[in-house]
């Protein structure tokens, strides 16, 4: 996707092989903006017909380049692109990420849940580049959760997914960026409510109002992954989560 017929005028977004051998790209546009869309084949012999679908996101968009100007995320699929960002988020000493402790080319989003509960943020199989995600309780606040290369996306996937316990009415800041400095692209981040629970009861995984054998089974069944059972929201289900669950055993406060 170009600003003008000449690529030298600016490339807004590009993609190859986003979904199998087909392509998908997301760009942040303004009302009335005119762009040029170029569609073609991978090789000189690739000729055929098809359908191009153009859609608006249900939420999200390009994302804000600064934490004080985020784009709002909603439940469901939110399109994003980081092609115009050069912001680096340094998580050294705060989070365990693969190989590097920074999130490069980061855009900021905000999310305010209308119900207290567990929420999943995922770019699994929907991003054109190697993603990282982190969630904070404010622009200068504490890190709540982070992830790079979630196993729930696939054994060799380079996309991200995390789940954390969110409180109703609290606005969280979500940073989405790349593994490396050269990581640019577009995709979709899916926001899903995993279940409701008491505001002081993140160990109530199934949201039935008590921490019991069903919650323990869910935690053990997802051991080593992110998602259900990640009580402390660090991106992995492990012994720390098991300890928190057992200490909260019984009816939620």
- The pLDDT tens digits for 22-40 are 777 666 565 677 888 889 8
C-alpha separations of 40 from 15, 19, 152 in Å? 11, 15, 33
- Reduced to 3 states, what is the DSSP secondary structure of residue 178? strand
Q: Is the pLDDT of residue 120 over 60?
A: yes
State residue 28's pLDDT score.
56
163 vs 194: CA distance, rounded Å: 8
Q: Give the residue-averaged pLDDT of 107-133.
A: 90
Express each pLDDT in 221-231 by its tens digit. Answer: 989 887 788 88
145 sits in the region (left: phi over 0; alpha: psi -120 to 50; else beta) called beta
| Averaged pLDDT, 125-133 | 90
Query: What is the arithmetic mean of pLDDT over 169-182?
Result: 91
Closest CA to 218 of 90, 118, 97, 84: 118
- Name the pLDDT band for 220 (thresholds 50, 70, 90): very high
Q: What is the per-residue pLDDT for 31?
A: 61
pLDDT value at residue 30: 58
Mean pLDDT along residues 68-76 = 89
Q: How confident is the model at residue 57 (pLDDT cuts 50, 70, 90)?
A: very low
Buried b (16+ CB within 10 A) or exposed e, 113-145: beebbbbbbbbbebbbbbbbbbbbeeeeeebbb
Share of the chain above pLDDT 90, in %: 28
More confident residue, 153 or 233: 153
Cα–Cα distances (Å) from 54 to 150, 163, 251, in that order, read: 29, 30, 48
Mean of pLDDT over the chain: 83
What structural domains does the chain harbor?
57-196 (2.60.120.380), 204-253 (1.10.1330.10)
Is the pLDDT at 112 greater than 80? The verdict is: yes
Q: pLDDT-derived band of residue 95, with 50, 70 and 90 as boundaries?
A: confident
Check whether 185 has a pLDDT greater than 80: yes
pLDDT tops 50 at residue 59: no
Region of poorest pLDDT, from 27-31, 58-62, 173-177: 58-62
The pLDDT value given to residue 37: 87
Rounded to an integer, the average pLDDT of 190-212 is: 78
The whole-number average pLDDT for the span 67-85 is: 87
Nearest to 161 by CA among 126, 195, 196, 186: 126
pLDDT recorded at residue 139: 87
56 versus 53: the higher-pLDDT residue is: 53
Question: How confident is the model over 60-73, as a mean pLDDT?
Answer: 72
Distance CA 209, CA 206 (A): 8
% the chain with pLDDT above 70: 85
């Amino acid at each position: 996707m170009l600003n003008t017929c000449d690529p030298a005028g600016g490339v807004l977004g590009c993609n190859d092989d986003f979904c199998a051998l087909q392509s998908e790209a997301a760009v942040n546009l303004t009302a009335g903006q005119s762009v040029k869309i170029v569609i073609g084949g991978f090789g000189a012999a690739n000729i055929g017909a098809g359908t191009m679908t153009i859609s608006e996101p249900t939420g999200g968009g390009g994302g804000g380049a600064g934490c004080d100007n985020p784009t709002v995320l909603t439940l469901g699929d939110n399109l994003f692109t980081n092609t115009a960002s050069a912001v680096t988020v340094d998580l050294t000493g705060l989070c365990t990420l693969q190989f590097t402790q920074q999130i490069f080319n980061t855009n900021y989003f905000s999310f305010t849940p209308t119900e207290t509960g567990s929420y999943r943020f995922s770019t699994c199989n929907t991003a054109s580049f190697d993603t990282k995600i982190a969630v904070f309780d404010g622009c200068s606040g504490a890190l709540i959760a982070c992830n790079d290369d979630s196993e729930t996306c696939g054994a060799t996937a380079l996309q991200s997914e995390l789940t954390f316990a969110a409180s109703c009415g609290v606005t969280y800041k979500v940073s989405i960026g790349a593994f490396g400095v050269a990581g640019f692209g577009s995709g979709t981040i899916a926001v899903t409510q995993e279940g409701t629970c008491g505001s002081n009861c993140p160990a109530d995984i199934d949201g039935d109002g008590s921490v019991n054998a069903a919650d323990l089974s869910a935690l053990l069944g997802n051991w080593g992954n992110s998602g259900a059972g990640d009580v402390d929201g660090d991106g992995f289900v492990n012994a720390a989560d098991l300890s928190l669950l057992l200490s909260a055993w019984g009816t939620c406060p």
